Structure 1
């Protein structure tokens, strides 16, 4: 047989029909991804920091009005489901709805099982950035987001080639500006470090030319 007819690893990688995730793959991806982000929220809340995106907006609003984060996070995401359905389809919307619900649940339940009494702000920012970035990448790779600007970011990356991480970072700047009214400057600075780590991880690791899963 000619060598040209022997399948190579490159030919498999370049296949136009890559293997799709099973329902179990997606289920465990949503569980792991949302748990990692919930852990990130725990690091932030126990160190007086916050994050970006809708989760960050919910954390800032929670501190401002005294309403639980889980409730605000779920409510803030509701309008974005219309955008998700129209632009990304029903499957993506359902997965995103499930992910938002799971994160709200984990964020409500986790504080009942453990608390962190002493956590350096810089360490908290780094750990929160890494866990949030890992969790969001897991969700993106299984065709879901945590709603809000993440929906717009994934849509822009898939259709316009604009990296999701940079879109989210732009929104984060607005959240941080708002947070200056409720947090001191050092808290905002450390929070920006965590958000930057998250978005750099997404921008460098979630690329359409490297990994596609819907």
Structure 2
């Protein structure tokens, strides 16, 4: 049994490392192929690293590279993640940031277009895809992702929303450095980045589920075998058409768990009435898997 557990963990580590490498390639493409040629700033620490590179290139004798500053600025955040989120999470965060810094140096910039709108949209979409993919598989991309996860645990806010609030300063900086039209293009890129990230990283999107069933025990057992969620039971409900006895079950799941939930319902009571609605916030105890 222990050997099987070790084998599973080894495959998980390999999968996370592979995801970190994919993220590194995507963020490097966003920076080198779109954002830098289009004078567009990224979100979070990557955007701050770009800003430092721009300012040192203009006003300092030595220009500090975006790749170097991306890693340096993340060092204090590694410490926060170590104590507030988890050691394994921090380890893979370090790997993803280090790989991103290396790939930014290895992948030579390619100017596909100078159109700032195209650069903003495509750069934001590619970076959002990479960031969301990394977070989906339990890896942080560093920077505001770490801050966002810590704040989300306390406030329930979505990652994209938190990033938009923090990145207002980046947009203002883009206005001062490149001109206010570029501030608008950077803002468009940030919104695209946030939306794509929220579409890919669905673990924080919560759904309230109401189940009306005549087989409550079977449904509860099946759902709890597939997803780790508590369920509230409302007894003595009655169907208005056949006047048969029903039970109403309430639970909250993440959008990430929808596939497992559907499997559970197909196994236990495929004829049950199920209503699913988005939940803005959950107060009280709600289990979240450790990252």
RMSD of Structure 2 on Structure 1 (CA): 1.9
Structure 1, unpaired ranges of 5+: 1-18
Pair 1:57 & 2:52 matched = no
Q: So what's the TM-score if we normalise by structure 2?
A: 0.62
CA contact 2:37–2:111 (8 Å) conserved in 1: yes
Bigger relative contact order, structure 1 or 2, given CA contacts below 8 A and separation 6+?
Answer: 1
Residues 213 and 88 from structure 1, CA distance in 2 versus in 1: closer, same or farther, beyond 3 angstroms?
closer
TM-score of the aligned structures, taking structure 1 as reference length: 0.84
More strand by share: 2
Cα 1:181/1:84, change in 2 over 3 Å: same
Q: Tell me the equivalent position of 1:130.
A: 125
Give distance in 2, aligned partners of 1:170 and 1:125: 18
- Give the equivalent residue in structure 2 for 1:80: 77
Mapped pair 1:170 → 2:215: no
Asked whether the 8 Å contact 2:133–2:200 carries over to 1, the reply is: no
**Secondary structure class of the residue paired with 1:128:** helix
* Residues in 2 aligned to 1:213 and 1:92: alpha-carbon distance in whole angstroms: 9
Structure-to-structure mapping, 1:98-113, within 5 angstroms? 98-111=95-108
Listed as ranges, the matches of 1:12-27 within 5 Å are 22-27=12-17
Q: Is the 8 A contact 1:55 1:73 kept in 2?
A: yes
Cα deviation, residue 117, structure 1:
5.4
- Asked if 1:28 corresponds to 2:18, the answer is yes
Which stretches of structure 1, 4 residues or longer, exceed 6 Å deviation after superposition? none
Partner Cα separation in structure 2 for residue 200 and residue 142 of structure 1? 18
Change (3 A) 1:107 1:159: same
* Change in CA separation of 1:119 and 1:178 when aligned onto 2, cut-off 3 Å: closer
Q: Which has the higher helix share?
A: 1
